[in-house]
Structure 1
Amino acid sequence: MTFSVHRFDPPSFRPHRWRRGGHLQTLLAPRSSLRADDWKRLQQQIHSRKHRLPVSGGDTLVLHDDEPKTWQTNPRGSVLLLHGICGCHAADYMIRFSQRLLQIGIRTFRLDMRGCGESIELCRGITHAGRSEDVLASLQLIGQLTEDTSAPIGAIGTSLGGNQLLRAAGRVGAGLDDPPANWDRIGPLLAIAPPVDLQACSDHMESWTLRFYNRYFITQLLDRAKTTLQMREELGNLLDGPTPKTLRQFDRRITAPMAGFPDERAYYASSSANVVTQHISVPTMIVAAKDDPLVPVRSFTEIEARLPRPVRVLTMPTGGHHGFSQHDGTAWTDDLVAKLFNEAWP
């Protein structure tokens, strides 16, 4: 029987007593429950590899493949993990999700997107919200690496990675992109706090009350862009002039020209997942928080009425932007990930 996200009962969420409201939930997001020594011990119990994945434009991505010791006798399933705008394979939530899935016998693949993590020296391009072709290429490779054709393949995308994931599934469903050869093995998909309407998010981020977030993201993104621009002399003047003050200014000056868009509005219109989510045909859960300070909750209420049956929007009353800090300091999304895939693949 096909797994239904609508019949799935999410774990209960009891918010942290002192981390109330979207800003505190976002800024004081949970960290890994594993100490460095514990993570090293867990890694000793799994078989880890790195795979290089050539993609368009001559770029190469790196997939970090962690295989539980039970895989050879019981290939339960594999999950692709996609990070957010400033993340990489080593982001705290990527490690936490991988840890929880490995503990229940699920193989994980943590992707370094273009210009991120260990892919940074292998790419002339940058990641952005519309890089759904990289998601499909990663799923294709995972299908080739996991030889048991009965073993399912899921995916989790956080923030920007969530938009990429939804866009990939929607474009396949709409017939705009060819599906990977293993598409019949795909699902469920989980998108956490995805910016599905980039224009709405950009408009929202123009608020002076969000200047701290703008400053943080721009600092991180400029550091990353400088490394990539060193390989592209034809774009070297993009960093000339005053530092961008908002994400919209950064997208106008850096993201759009580096990714081949005429301006930021064209980038937003082309890359937002909300224009194709109605075509998603695999079990998919979208998780949002009403008090997310970065992604307006109306982005999800506006698409919910036209979503197909395989897709469910789970809107939590609090949680911030992928914070979801519980009363004991752990992350509710860690419990959600473990329970979702444990029930989807009994």
Structure 2
Amino acid sequence: MLDGNFARWIHEFEIPAFVPHRFLRGGHLQTLLGARPGDALRPFEASHRRHIIPLSDGDALAMHDDEPAGWTPRNGSVLMIHGICGCHAAPYMVRFQRRLGQLGIRTFRLDMRGCGDSAALCRSITHAGRSEDVLAAIEFIASVVNDSASPIGAVGVSLGGNQLLLTAGRVGNGVHAAPSGWDRVGPILAIAPPLDLQRCSDAMQSARLRFYNWYFIKHLLRRASPQLRSREDYQEMLRQPRPRTLRQFDRKITAPLAGFESETDYYGQSSAASVVGDIAVPTLIVTSSDDPLVPVESFSPYLAGTDGVGRHDAKSRGVEDGGRPVRLHVSNGGGHHGFLKRDRTSWSDDLVSAFFAGAFAARSGG
């Protein structure tokens, strides 16, 4: 188990300053321009392997393992989970791999169900509540890196952040049994997670967010795998009027395909907000004050009584119900995982690098 010193580290970690580009302010601009490729076409050179992780229902996940030259188990590993329309090759996933590889940290980029290289292996879809898939990935990493002293960190972006938080909370409250290697897990970093899916869905009903609804629905339908397309229930869904909002998409497609009674049932069961207080792993949640997709108000239960502590760290507090080491940071601006700095690089790249470098040094006593 983690010792108390490392559990306290999450609150002592100095979050890098975010200073936005002077002409790229505002949540929408940061969100849209932050999705650019940047250095994504230049992954860090490493020994690359693709693993296949079988799942209990017959589907399987692909995971991309990048091991830097000279890596040892003491250097640690990081599981990376993408967002709703992403995969292992998403620009931010490759940038994170590059920054961590430069530190000598091994990375495992997961393709969730129906995404990237996992698409050909699945008849079902990913969704915000797929905590069992995250557990399968962690247990697989623990088997590949079979060293009890080797730490396993994790970072999830957007929907992947919710999946990661939900997993940790469900292990913490006993809904999931802790998988092999769970005592090595930590810290966790969740960036722009939609941890209250109902409030995020309510926000997406706004006419101002029509473009985002159109974009997500277009890509979710386009990337459906041949296996999913062959399902009779999915074919019947496609014969119905096309969803115009993500709420309609969740009602007509996500919920029935994933076995939920309705979209509200899906939101209620899959939102990490209900289990944040059960997380027992050192965790940092990062969001933005002007995220157009994940309203900052959805974090309100964790913001009450919080004081500002600097221009770049508008709100940062520990959610320590029962001593559980979870910290929330709300940046002043940055959009939905945009965080474009003055030099047009991404602040989240700096955050990921500093976070895991500091955490693994703290865990090893260095």
1:18 maps to what in 2? 23
1:103 maps to what in 2? 102
TM superposition shift of 1:233: 2.2
Tell me the percent identity: 57
TM superposition shift of 1:303: 3.8
AA at the equivalent of 1:328 = D
TM superposition shift of 1:298: 1.2
Aligned-partner Cα distance in 1 for 2:259–2:97 = 33
Aligned-partner Cα distance in 2 for 1:215–1:307 = 39
Alignment check: 8 A CA contact 1:32 1:96 kept: no
Q: State the secondary structure of the residue aligned to 2:257.
A: helix
**1:225-304 matches, cutoff 5 A:** 225=224, 227-304=226-303
TM superposition shift of 1:82: 0.2
| Structure 1 residue ranges (4+ consecutive) displaced by more than 6 angstroms after TM superposition | none
TM superposition shift of 1:32: 4.8
Q: TM-score of the superposition, structure 2-length normalised? A: 0.90
Alignment check: 8 A CA contact 1:274 1:303 kept: no
TM superposition shift of 1:317: 1.1
2:13 maps to what in 1? 8
Aligned-partner Cα distance in 2 for 1:35–1:233 = 37
Q: State the secondary structure of the residue aligned to 1:58.
A: coil
TM superposition shift of 1:224: 2.2
TM superposition shift of 1:343: 0.7
Aligned-partner Cα distance in 1 for 2:255–2:221 = 14
TM superposition shift of 1:226: 6.3
Q: TM-score of the superposition, structure 1-length normalised? A: 0.95
**1:243-277 deviations in Å (ceiling 9; x for gaps):** 11100000000101110111101100110000111
What number of residue pairs does the alignment pair up? Answer: 340
User: Compared with structure 1, are the counterparts of its residues 274 and 35 closer, same or farther at alpha carbon in structure 2 (3 Å cutoff)?
Assistant: closer
1:313 maps to what in 2? 328
Alignment check: 8 A CA contact 1:188 1:283 kept: yes
Q: State the secondary structure of the residue aligned to 2:52.
A: strand
1:194 maps to what in 2? 193
1:132 maps to what in 2? 131
Which 5+ residue runs of structure 2 have no aligned equivalent? 305-318, 362-366
Aligned-partner Cα distance in 1 for 2:144–2:71 = 12
Pair 1:79 & 2:94 matched? no
Alignment check: 8 A CA contact 2:68 2:104 kept: yes
Aligned-partner Cα distance in 1 for 2:148–2:356 = 18
User: Compared with structure 1, are the counterparts of its residues 237 and 226 closer, same or farther at alpha carbon in structure 2 (3 Å cutoff)?
Assistant: farther
TM superposition shift of 1:242: 1.9
User: Compared with structure 1, are the counterparts of its residues 108 and 19 closer, same or farther at alpha carbon in structure 2 (3 Å cutoff)?
Assistant: same
Which 5+ residue runs of structure 1 have no aligned equivalent? none
Alignment check: 8 A CA contact 2:80 2:108 kept: yes
Alignment check: 8 A CA contact 2:40 2:90 kept: no
**1:3-58 deviations in Å (ceiling 9; x for gaps):** 5211000111110111111000000106454374x43xx32xx1110110011321
AA at the equivalent of 2:170 = R
2:50 maps to what in 1? 50
2:340 maps to what in 1? 325
Aligned-partner Cα distance in 2 for 1:242–1:283 = 45
Aligned-partner Cα distance in 2 for 1:345–1:265 = 39
Q: State the secondary structure of the residue aligned to 1:63.
A: strand
TM superposition shift of 1:188: 0.4
Aligned-partner Cα distance in 2 for 1:115–1:303 = 33
Aligned-partner Cα distance in 1 for 2:341–2:285 = 19
Q: State the secondary structure of the residue aligned to 2:74.
A: coil
**1:168-226 deviations in Å (ceiling 9; x for gaps):** 00000001101111111110000000000101000110000100000000100111236
Aligned-partner Cα distance in 2 for 1:18–1:34 = 21
Q: State the secondary structure of the residue aligned to 2:138.
A: helix
Q: State the secondary structure of the residue aligned to 2:132.
A: helix
Alignment check: 8 A CA contact 1:291 1:318 kept: yes
1:62 maps to what in 2? 62
**1:145-164 matches, cutoff 5 A:** 145-164=144-163
